[in-house]
Amino acid sequence: MRINRFPVLELSVFCLILVLLSFSFITKDEKSSEEKPNILFIAVDDLRPELGCYGAEHIQSPNIDQLAADGTVFQRAYCNVPVCGASRASLLTGLRPAHKRFLNFMTRADKDAPEAISLPSYLKKNGYQTISNGKIYHHEHDDKDSWDELWRAESNSKSWKDYALTQSLENETNTRGGSAYERADVEDDVYRDGKIAAKVIEDLRKLSQSDKPFFLGAGFIKPHLPFNAPEKYWKLYDGKVSVPYNNYAPENAPKQSLHNFIELRIYDGINKKGPVSDEMASNLIHGYYACVSYVDAQIGKVLDELERLELDENTIVVLWGDHGFNLLEHGLWCKTSSYETALHAPLIVKIPGKNKVKATSEIVEYVDIYPTICELAGLDLPEHLQGDSFKNLLYKRKAKSDGIAIAQWKKGLTVIKDNYFYTEWIDDKDSSVARMLYDHQLDKDENFNISEHAQNKSVIEELRKEIRANRGENYFMKK
């Protein structure tokens, strides 16, 4: 009897095709789920958390506020060192400042920590296209091999001060001089931040056609001194500026916590010692606010383009200010201090999809950003990192951080824990030479140093231990 085997063969082939098709669909899904997210890394120079999304109703920052509404606002984020060069080097290497590491604005990551693989370098090694636009590191060529492309906008001036008005340009020299602020009736792209926004938008359009994930840095300059911004942003605050009430040194403040704020003193019209005039103080604060709204508008242009290109569907956005800035609080005009106004900085993270947590009051610090980005990108953590990922804070409302931040300015080490802000100045033998303690539950503006009150002895002992336990291994290592 002859048996016809073709129907069986046809059935087998059909089943095989179904299996292959099913495998191809699974592979596609797996590939999609394993796709690395893009990262838009927005750095803003000298930006205080004085923004609408942080409760400052007098500030117009609609674009940053919208990013905050779509992401997670870290209400208690602290830089590890309050000066541009050192703060950025610390954040981008994931290393804490030490006794002789990451000390001032001249800091370079590739000099102070050449053995550490930086965040952009690590991402580059893991398949990311890395582009630095504007001021990501303080020094343009710091860690330059980490970037596939390194770009900075040219200044209008002889120096980095970037004036637009003829009178300002004539008064400026390469080292000193020039106004501390400028109110110019010009378009946004006359100043560098407008040019930076345009370059980032151009990059987004190119990157949207690439198969590689990207780490795109957008480093905006304002509101750094001089406070230069187009006229339309100054108008937003006409008649609405007031100076802080606590424009005096805190009671019992140690001399180490106060200084002559030399950064402002170099500008024309600023006396070399003593307080500035009331009119100058008002103009400086007005200029700072105008710069905040100006840079907010540039960030808005970038975020709009990210959405228009539908890149927002697979892009992590991290917005951070490198440190705070004193606007006459405690009589200071600077970031370089150990007060809350210098160490507290804005941090907003938006992940693809819907964040489950809109805001968190858990304490985080900037050395935590590097490990967090790694975890969000599905990458193993480099062994040298000294911070902890706060990824869980983005997804779980009840998640906790370790509850401690450590910062350093010169020889002053600050610990932030619970409602306490404690700073201790130490010598080369780790002995205390001065200290200050503020209880933010009772004194949120840090007007009364209570470190010498007898009832706080046990609190100080605990906080001293926290500093030494959390400031990083080999703190007294040689540079």
Q: Judge whether 61 and 382 are in contact, CB under 8 Å.
A: no
Active site annotation includes 84: yes
Alpha-carbon gap, residue 178 to 362, rounded angstroms:
42
Which DSSP symbol is given to 98?
B
Q: Hey, what long-range contacts does 434-441 have (CB within 8 A, 24 or more apart)?
A: 434/254, 434/255, 434/256, 434/257, 435/254, 435/460, 436/250, 436/252, 436/253, 436/254, 436/257, 436/338, 437/463, 438/250, 438/340, 440/340
The residue length of the chain stands at: 479
In contact, 224 and 233? CB cutoff 8 Å: no
CA–CA separation, 81 vs 262, rounded Å?
Answer: 18
* Strand partners for 216: 40, 131
CB atoms within 10 A of CB 115: 7
Q: Which of 53, 79, 84, 334 is catalytic?
A: 84
Exactly one of 138, 139, 224, 286 is catalytic; which is it?
138
What is the Cα–Cα distance from 376 to 380, expressed in whole angstroms? 10
Give me the amino acid identity at 470. Answer: N
For residues 207, 309, 91, 388, the Cα torsion angle rounded to the nearest 10 degrees is -110
How far apart are alpha carbons 251 and 448 in whole angstroms? 5
Can you point out the beta strands (E) in 281-403?
315-321, 347-350, 359-365
> Beta-carbon neighbour count of residue 298 at 10 Å?
29
Residue 354: partners with Cβ closer than 8 Å, 6 or more residues away: none
Strand bridging mode 181-184 / 315-321: unpaired
How far is Cα of residue 475 from the mean position of the Cα atoms in its chain? 24
The DSSP code for 464 is H
Is 401 in contact with 390 (CB distance < 8 Å)? yes
Helix segments in 324-366, DSSP class H: 340-343
| Sequence-ordered alpha helix ranges (H) in 309-400 | 340-343, 369-376, 391-395
Please tell me whether residue 425 adopts helix, strand or coil conformation. strand
What are the residue numbers of the active site?
Answer: 84, 138
